[in-house]
A and B are shown apart, each in its own frame.
Chain A
Amino acid sequence: DQQVKQNSPSLSVQEGRISILNCDYTNSMFDYFLWYKKYPAEGPTFLISISSIKDKNEDGRFTVFLNKSAKHLSLHIVPSQPGDSAVYFCAGANPNFGNEKLTFGTGTRLTIIP
Chain B
Amino acid sequence: DTAVSQTPKYLVTQMGNDKSIKCEQNLGHDTMYWYKQDSKKFLKIMFSYNNKELIINETVPNRFSPKSPDKAHLNLHINSLELGDSAVYFCASSQKDRWGGYTFGSGTRLTVV
Residues of chain B within 8 A (CB-CB) of A43 are 4, 90, 92, 104-107
| Given A100-B94, A100-B96, A101-B48: A44 touches B104 (CB 8 Å cut-off) | yes
Number of A-B residue pairs with CB-CB distance less than 8 Å in the complex they form? 56
Give the residues from 91 to 111 in chain B that come closer than 8 angstroms, CB to CB, to chain A.
92, 94, 96, 99-107
- B102 to nearest A CB, angstroms? 7
Closest 6 CB pairs of A and B: A43-B104, A104-B43, A46-B101, A95-B99, A43-B106, A34-B101
Where chain B touches its partner, the secondary structure class is strand
Sorting the interface of chain B by its residue count into under 10, 10 to 19, 20 to 34 or 35 or more gives: 20 to 34
- On whether the beta carbons of A106 and B42 are closer than 8 Å, the reply is yes
| Given A43-B90, A99-B56: A104 touches B101 (CB 8 Å cut-off) | no
Which residues of A are at the interface with B, using a C-beta cutoff of 8 A? 32, 34, 36, 41-46, 49, 87, 89, 91, 95, 98-104, 106-107
- On whether the beta carbons of B41 and A42 are closer than 8 Å, the reply is no
Residues of chain B within 8 A (CB-CB) of A102 are 45, 101-102
- A12 to nearest B CB, angstroms? 18
Residues of chain A within 8 A (CB-CB) of B104 are 36, 43-45
- On whether the beta carbons of A107 and B41 are closer than 8 Å, the reply is yes
Residues of chain B within 8 A (CB-CB) of A91 are 101
Listed A/B pairs (17) with beta-carbon separation below 8 Å: A34-B101, A41-B107, A42-B106, A43-B92, A43-B106, A44-B90, A44-B104, A45-B104, A46-B103, A89-B43, A91-B101, A99-B50, A100-B31, A103-B45, A104-B42, A106-B41, A106-B42
- Cβ-closest chain B residue relative to A31: B99
* Given A46-B101, A99-B48, 14 other A-B residues pairs in contact with their CB atoms under 8 A: A43-B90, A43-B105, A43-B106, A44-B43, A44-B104, A46-B103, A98-B55, A99-B50, A99-B56, A100-B96, A101-B45, A102-B101, A104-B43, A107-B41
